[in-house]
Structure formats: C-alpha cells, structure tokens
Structure 1
C-alpha cells in the first residue's frame, strides 16, 4: 500500500480538495508532541459549503452520510498538507469528532458519522480506525449539516 495519501485517494476514484483556509482567528492544524489536531471541516463542493440544513428536518440520513464523507475528504486534505502527503509519518487516527445539525428528535447521528468513518478506514486501513463521538447540535457554521474534527498520532 502506498504511503502517498493522494495516491490512495486516487485509487478509490476520489480526489482531495484544496485544503480550506480558516474563516476566523484559528489555524488549520496544530502539532503538539506526537499529536496532530485538525480544526473542524465542513462539507465543501468546489470550495463552497454544501448539504445545508438539518438531519431529520430538511435532510435524510443518506444525505447526512454524504455530507460527513465530504467533510472527511476535507479532513484528509488537511492531513495531507500537514504531513506533506507522507502517510509513513502517521501512526493512526486517535479520535474523530462528528457534529450533526439535527432536529431535536433525530437520534441517528452515528449513521451519519459512518459516512466519515467508512471513508477514513477505506483510505487509511487500520490507521484509520478510531474512537469517535457523534453529537447532535442545533446549527453549524454556514448552515451545513455536518462538521468533523480529529486528533491523529504521529511517528515520534
């Protein structure tokens, strides 16, 4: 298996977006000791927010999972940028945080989060298996349905 993130993505018939830039007073990622923290990523198509609305209200689980997958592609773009496309520097994903904009009665945040989790495992193999939190919230930046962040462990 290739150590190039962009090659692995390409083998799946996907492409990485350009890493998004912060819209406020924060940075895309921080490396501290052997950990890489990547800021929240939202689903983008051609650099524009997509999958607007809330699960259980204007969007269904399938759309939510697709939104989570797009956000995960953004997360991988940030990872590739932080590691200079070299996955030999990566030990594993430690934790994935998935925030789902949802109606008060929506209870399937985990199904939506699987859109991101499945993509990460498909791209990274065992290094992509992770602990995860999936949380329902009333709204997210730009009105999108999903935002994800992650903590990665890096080689010493």
Structure 2
C-alpha cells in the first residue's frame, strides 16, 4: 500500500507547507537526509497555546503532537515530492511546553511517533528525544522537528 493510500485510509489530508514565522526555511535536503524545521502545534489554524501540566493534560498534548506529525508529513512531501520516496524516519525531536513538575513529555510525543508508525510502518520507527521546556514560540504547547532519509 502506498503512503498516500494509507493516509486516505486514515482520513488524513496533508496541508501545504507553512510559511516560516522567522528567518529560516521549512526544510533542508543534504545528501540523502532531509531536515525539517520545528513545527508548532496548531488548532483551527492558530498556535495551540498551552502548558502541559498547568493548562492542559497529557491526552490533549498527545493530540497536538499528532497534528504536528500531519503538518510535518506535508512539509516532508513538499521536500521529497512523494512520501513513498522516504526510506526511513530517522529522528524526531519534541519540545513540550510544560510546568516544572510535568514528567510525561514522552507520552505527549507518542502522538506524533505513533502516527508516523501507522503511516510509514517499519520505515516510521525512529530515534527520538522529548524535552520539557519553559516556553515555545507563540506560546504553543508542543514543537516537533524531524529528520528523514530518502
């Protein structure tokens, strides 16, 4: 099954690449690697503002991370032309806007990791880091970046 067929099966339509909010590009391809800039969580087209452990819970954060994975796949598709050209999702790095006592960053990030696994199968298994941070641009609850091999 192609990646596009899998996305259709899951009811997912990939968005176009977002315009960067600062002085950077959405992706850089070098050799057989594609580096995607961090994407922040969005809800109804606006930054999904919140702080895990203070104004929102783990499940809501997980949904935000899942939404970011969809946006990342849209950017990745723009970078490589067709997601079937992806040999492997190599690395995911997740920044979670969290209260000092919040410790479920890994569970929030699963929202993205699990969807990448559903879409890419074995090629979606990746190395990962998940960090708690004091703040993310525009007050977003989660930001995720990705590295893929093509």
TM-score, length basis structure 2 = 0.95
Instruction: Report the Cα distance in structure 1 between the residues aligned to 2:110 and 2:120, rounded to whole angstroms.
Output: 15
**Residue 46 of structure 1: CA displacement?**
4.3
Q: What CA deviation, in whole Å up to 9, does each residue of 1:91-146 have, x standing for no partner?
A: 10110001000000001100000000001111111111100000000110111110
- Candidates 36, 39, 46, aligned match of 2:37: 39
Question: Equivalent residue of 1:104, what SS?
Answer: coil
**Residue 72 of structure 1: CA displacement?**
0.8
Instruction: Report the Cα distance in structure 2 between the residues aligned to 1:60 and 1:113, rounded to whole angstroms.
Output: 13
What residue is the counterpart of 1:108 in the other structure? 104
Instruction: Report the Cα distance in structure 1 between the residues aligned to 2:17 and 2:4, rounded to whole angstroms.
Output: 13
What residue is the counterpart of 1:73 in the other structure? 70
Q: Where in structure 1 are there 5+ consecutive unaligned residues? A: none
Q: What CA deviation, in whole Å up to 9, does each residue of 1:52-108 have, x standing for no partner?
A: 111000000000000100111110110111111x23321101100010000000011
What residue is the counterpart of 1:137 in the other structure? 133
**Residue 17 of structure 1: CA displacement?**
1.9
What residue is the counterpart of 1:151 in the other structure? 147
Q: Over aligned residue pairs, what C-alpha RMSD do you find?
A: 1.2
Q: How many residues are matched?
A: 150
Instruction: Report the Cα distance in structure 1 between the residues aligned to 2:43 and 2:101, rounded to whole angstroms.
Output: 28
Residue 10 (structure 1) aligned with residue 8 (structure 2):
yes
TM-score, length basis structure 1 = 0.91
Instruction: Report the Cα distance in structure 1 between the residues aligned to 2:102 and 2:146, rounded to whole angstroms.
Output: 23
